Amino acid sequence: MAQLSDDCFAFGGELLGVDAAIALIEARISPVVDQEIVPLAAAAGRILARDLVARIDVPPHANSAVDGFAIVHADVHSEGDTVLPVTGRAAAGHPLGRIVGRGEAIRIFTGAPMPQGADTVMMQEDCVVEGDRVRLKPGIRQGANRRHAGEDVARGALALAAGRRLKPADLGLAAALGNDTVPVFRPLRVALLSTGDEVCEPGAPLAPGAIYDANRVMLAALLRGLGCAVSDLGIRPDRAAALADTLAAASAGHDLIVTSGGVSTGDEDHVRTAIEKLGRLDFWRLAIKPGRPVALGQVRGVPLVGLPGNPVAAALTFAILARPLILRLSGASIAPPLSFPVAAGFSYRKKQGRREYLRATLARENGTVVARKYPKDGAGILSSIVQSDGFVILDESVSDFVSGTIVDFLPFSEVFGS
Ligand code: AMP
Ligand code: MG
């Protein structure tokens, strides 16, 4: 198991751009999870730990793509019909078993190995059977309806790259290559807790001044979506000593600790005090809006991500920073989330130099896709995510713009899924 260096989250600057933050994660963080071999049938959603190289060709043999007649193309007259005797049969799983010579037609079915010597298959719809002979139309291309061995994956080729989260089609491909097991990374074990004296468990009566914990259930679902095994440590009060005990205990048996709340610079920021007692804490102030600093540290060698308490800020910083960090710790490769251009259905005033993430829905208007901004922006307005489809990302260089300007749209599915 890889160990992170003590100062892997150290960062001297004031404000950190999103791209620079992701580059730092890629450069400094390595997978911390061991590998295990699992049955292919249980591998959906797991992260492939080693490159899967094809040991055979897929398909393993040249075969017919249709039901019809396998022929030697040179036998087909270029003008007028050709009549050939039907001299054999090849079905899927039942090869002809001999070499085809000139002047023969072999009855063949989809998936049947191409008989050696034949190079073309005439679809049965283009043939007329006349007793034990078959009449072929002119004009077929040489090699038509023949699938080559290895045309899907050639032996020796990289079929699936390490770091990939295995999707259903990946399992199909691994199976087509003959694998019944795959090497995957063990799930990242994550301890999750909320902090705050005011934060209260849903279902319990709400005391004066209290609020229900919105973050924990949301973050647990996001973590599970990334394949993590989550330990729910509940809600912890704003007491540094108690928090330190909780974090110290969590550092045993977990690969990562995720907290929310208590990490800004106010007096009531006890997570910070607690971590500084146990290990090291760095703050990454991302140049984003909405954005609060995210605390990154280590508790007895176990990395910790301290997300802001406001639910929108927690979700956004999870998407931007925690997600790539978690993917990296989990052994997954980090593909940049795919955003696409849409027309802004609103005008906007923006300061240059930071990246803004507006919540927006998509609609079709006169044949174009338009992003409509959610009217309330506050970092505590979780409805802005619930009622939206994704983020409009306004890059550092963008300033004020008018409705109709092309902006970048990032669907939530890109960052709030796997
Ligand atoms: P903090 O980051 O602790 O300063 O909290 C910032 C804001 O987020 C405060 O209004 C908190 O009450 C709120 N908050 C903190 N944790 C949660 C939580 N788990 N669920 C909902 N709101 C929270
Ligand atoms: Mg708090």
The 10s digit of each residue's pLDDT in 136-151 is 999 999 999 999 999 9
**Mean pLDDT, to the nearest integer, of 157-182?**
98
Residue 165 lies in a domain: no
Residue 265 has pLDDT above 70, yes or no: no
- Contact between 226 and 190 (Cβ < 8 Å): no
Q: Among 329, 351, 366, give the residue marking a domain's end.
A: 329
- The answer for residues whose C-beta is within 8 angstroms of residue 43's C-beta and 6 or more apart is 166, 171, 174, 182, 184
Q: Among 300, 329, 358, give the residue marking a domain's end.
A: 329
Q: What are phi and psi of 232, to 5 degrees?
A: -90, 110
Whole-model pTM over 0.85: yes
Does 348 share its domain with 295? no
**Mean pLDDT, to the nearest integer, of 268-294?**
82
Sign of CA dihedral 358, 362, 366, 367: positive
Residue 44 lies in a domain: no
Confidence of residue 266 (pLDDT cuts 50, 70, 90): low
**Mean pLDDT, to the nearest integer, of 112-125?**
97
Residue 401 lies in a domain: yes
**Mean pLDDT, to the nearest integer, of 67-91?**
97
What CA–CA distance (Å, rounded) separates 35 from 52? Answer: 14
User: Looking at per-residue confidence, does 120 or 10 come out higher?
Assistant: 120
Lowest mean pLDDT among 47-56, 105-114, 202-211, 409-418: 409-418
Residue 190 lies in a domain: yes
* pLDDT, tens digit, 9 for 90 and up, residues 285-331: 888 888 778 889 999 999 999 999 999 999 999 999 999 999 999 99
Ligand at shortest distance from the CA of 378? 1
Burial 47-84 (b: 16+ CB within 10 A, else e): bbbeebebeebbbeebbbebbbbbbbeebbeeeeebeb
CA–centroid distance, residue 204 to ligand 2 (Å): 19
Which residues span the domain enclosing 387? 340-415
Does 111 share its domain with 200? no
| Bridge-based pairing state of the strands 302-307 and 256-260 | parallel
CA–centroid distance, residue 28 to ligand 1 (Å): 30
- Contact between 392 and 377 (Cβ < 8 Å): no
CA–centroid distance, residue 216 to ligand 2 (Å): 14
**Mean pLDDT, to the nearest integer, of 56-82?**
97
Return mean pLDDT, the chain.
Answer: 94
Question: For residue 187, is the peptide bond before it cis, meaning its omega torsion is within 30 degrees of 0?
Answer: no
Residue given tokens 């037609």 in the structure block: 105
Residue 9 lies in a domain: no
Q: Among 329, 350, 385, give the residue marking a domain's end.
A: 329
Confidence of residue 268 (pLDDT cuts 50, 70, 90): low
* pLDDT, tens digit, 9 for 90 and up, residues 190-222: 999 999 999 999 999 999 999 999 999 999 999
Residue 226 has pLDDT above 60, yes or no: yes
Does 224 share its domain with 103? no
Sign of CA dihedral 196, 197, 201, 207: negative
Residue 94 has pLDDT above 90, yes or no: yes
* pLDDT, tens digit, 9 for 90 and up, residues 351-399: 998 899 999 999 999 999 999 999 999 989 999 999 999 999 999 999 9
**Mean pLDDT, to the nearest integer, of 335-350?**
96
Does 322 share its domain with 348? no
What CA–CA distance (Å, rounded) separates 320 from 316? Answer: 6
CATH number of the domain to which 103 belongs: 2.170.190.11
Given ligand 1 and candidates 235, 238, 260, 317, which is best to mutate, with the most ligand atoms within 8 Å of its CB?
Answer: 260
- Contact between 235 and 194 (Cβ < 8 Å): yes
Does 232 share its domain with 317? yes
What CA–CA distance (Å, rounded) separates 134 from 128? Answer: 6
3-state SS, one letter per residue, for 37-89: EEEHHHCCCCEECCCEECCCCECCCCEECCCEEEECHHHCCCCCCEEEEEEEE
Q: In this prediction, what percent of the chain has a pLDDT beyond 70?
A: 98
Does 269 share its domain with 318? yes
Cβ–ligand 1 distance for 68 under 6 Å, the answer: no
Closest C-alpha among 76, 72, 75, 69 to residue 90: 69
Residue 297 lies in a domain: yes
Give the tokens for residue 279: 């290990």
Residue 52 lies in a domain: no
Does 302 share its domain with 401? no
Does 371 share its domain with 311? no
CA–centroid distance, residue 373 to ligand 1 (Å): 24
pLDDT of res. 418 = 62
pLDDT of res. 249 = 96
Does 193 share its domain with 256? yes
Residue 90 has pLDDT above 60, yes or no: yes
Does 216 share its domain with 319? yes
**Mean pLDDT, to the nearest integer, of 150-167?**
98
pLDDT of res. 15 = 84
302-307, strands of its sheet edge to edge: 229-236, 189-195, 256-260, 302-307, 294-299, 279-284
Contacts for 280-283: CB closer than 8 Å, 24+ residues apart: 280/6, 280/7, 280/9, 281/306, 282/9, 282/10, 282/11
Does 215 share its domain with 350? no
User: Looking at per-residue confidence, does 223 or 297 come out higher?
Assistant: 223
CATH number of the domain to which 405 belongs: 2.40.340.10
Question: What amino acid occupies position 143?
Answer: G
pLDDT of res. 135 = 97
Cβ–ligand 1 distance for 298 under 6 Å, the answer: no
CATH number of the domain to which 249 belongs: 3.40.980.10
Does 322 share its domain with 380? no
pLDDT of res. 115 = 98
pLDDT of res. 267 = 60
Residue 110 lies in a domain: yes
Cβ–ligand 1 distance for 199 under 6 Å, the answer: yes
Question: For residue 290, is the peptide bond before it cis, meaning its omega torsion is within 30 degrees of 0?
Answer: yes
Closest C-alpha among 303, 309, 398, 332 to residue 317: 309
Confidence of residue 107 (pLDDT cuts 50, 70, 90): very high
Given ligand 1 and candidates 193, 197, 199, which is best to mutate, with the most ligand atoms within 8 Å of its CB?
Answer: 199
Count of structural domains within the chain:
3
Closest C-alpha among 257, 278, 380 to residue 322: 257
